[in-house]
Amino acid sequence: MRLTVLGGGGFRVPLVYGALLRDTAKPRVEQVMLYDVSADRLAAIRHVLQQLAAGHDDPPEVLTTTDLDTALRDSTFVFSAMRVGGLAGRTADERVALELGLLGQETTGPGGIAYGLRTIPVAVRVAERVAALAPQAWVINFTNPAGMITEAMRSVLGDRVIGICDSPIGLVRRAAAALGLDPSRVSPDYVGLNHLGWLRGLTYQGRDVLPELLADDAALGRVEEARIFGGDWVRTLGALPNEYLYYYYFTRESVAAMSGQTRGESLLGQQDRFYEAVRARPEQALAEWGRTRKERDESYMADTREITDAGERDAVDLEAGGYEGIALALVGAIARGEPSTMILNVRNGGAVAGLPEEAVVEIPCAVDGSGVRPLATRPLPGRFLGLVQQVKAVEQTTIEAALSGSSSLAVEAFSLHPLVDSVGTARKLLDGYRARIPELAAVLPT
């Protein structure tokens, strides 16, 4: 099988290749094609992969290209991990919002809308080239905002594009471990949108054990999300929220905590140093990557953990892996017919009551050689459903704005978001993003 990685010069690509090196089941990925708009970044990551493969028998062959059609042709699976505008675009996503007193975050709030506006047209063009050159390929979307981008690509590829995120499975894993249970033997009742969902139940041997977790202070203390939100609040909710819901439930505290260096600015500095170091010392590529990865992982959502006294990230979480494990499990389930249940971003159909059928939602799905089937969920209570409906309306308006080039729809998307406080502010957001992000200005010219 050939796996194509779009954004193949990205920092997390070695995680995917490392997982492939550990995968010995048949059929396996025999060739990895890396595509990126930056030849320099491709060269740096190729050095890392070559050093990762040292000592392995018959590692997957690695090819690189800056030509999209060459990358896609003959692909069996396509991992989409693009960052349109690079980390410089992400820093603008965050800073423009913060300068207006709003949350500055990559996927949540106005930053996520700006990211989506410039990414959606590129993602749809990629989908069109996949349909033309590799119509039987499965596209697994890592690109954020994952739900929004997956929904846009579905307009071309239908069910052959699936979105993934590691936040829900991480939450399930932590909740099970806190109760001393094997995460592979529990069934989660998880429902929502990407970066906006709740674990409402956890079934083990036919019994929902989540109430036991919520009632146990010591066990809750072992769950990072519970430490972030506080035991009293998760008990009030009657559920464990995805970590990104902190930005909705504790907005003022989040904005205040972001007064210094943003996450995007931190990553931009880390990655600039990494790629420059590899250019200067390619023989040290893997060591440089390992050092930078440790720094990156330990600083994930550090501002939130600091203001909530949640402490450092658990070593088990850092070692458990993320996107790469989910993506390769999904590949295995489809390519080898290994039945599995996974939390994925898929078309709603009728799985989540109160949302449009075409909306992409993040819910448990049954996966096997025939594809992905969303599983029905219990109705969301009003306190959750209202927020989900509003944010989904924002996502769908953003998609429409990006594909039509409509500035008025873009302002509507910003205005509708629950973390934006006025239409006037929405207009300032659009002006600010257009001024600082050329890729967005090209989609929505003045």
Q: Encode 142-194 in three state secondary structure.
A: CCCCHHHHHHHHHHHHHHHEEECCCHHHHHHHHHHHHCCCCHHHCEEEEEEEC
DSSP 3-state of 385? helix
**In this predicted structure, what is the pLDDT of residue 323?**
81
Q: Are 324 and 12 in contact (CB under 8 A)?
A: yes
What whole-number distance in Å separates Cα of residue 189 and Cα of residue 101? 35
**In this predicted structure, what is the pLDDT of residue 70?**
98
DSSP 3-state of 290? helix
DSSP 3-state of 42? helix
Structure pTM? 0.93
pLDDT < 70: residue spans in the chain: 299-321
**In this predicted structure, what is the pLDDT of residue 298?**
78
**In this predicted structure, what is the pLDDT of residue 319?**
47
Distance of CA 29 to the CA centre of its chain: 23
**In this predicted structure, what is the pLDDT of residue 314?**
59
What whole-number distance in Å separates Cα of residue 48 and Cα of residue 14? 7
Whose CA is closest to 78, among 32, 36, 110? 32
Name residue 171's amino acid. L
- Work out the burial of residue 428: count CB atoms within 10 Å of its CB; fewer than 13 is exposed, 13-18 middle, 19 or more buried: middle
Peptide bond into 27 cis (omega under 30): yes
What whole-number distance in Å separates Cα of residue 200 and Cα of residue 300? 25
Structure-block tokens of residue 195: 């970066």
Structure-block tokens of residue 436: 């600082």
What whole-number distance in Å separates Cα of residue 308 and Cα of residue 315? 19
Measure Cα distances from 356 to 196, 269, 286, 361, 375 in Å: 17, 41, 46, 10, 16
**In this predicted structure, what is the pLDDT of residue 338?**
87
Q: Can you list the positions of beta strands (E) in 224-286?
A: 240-241
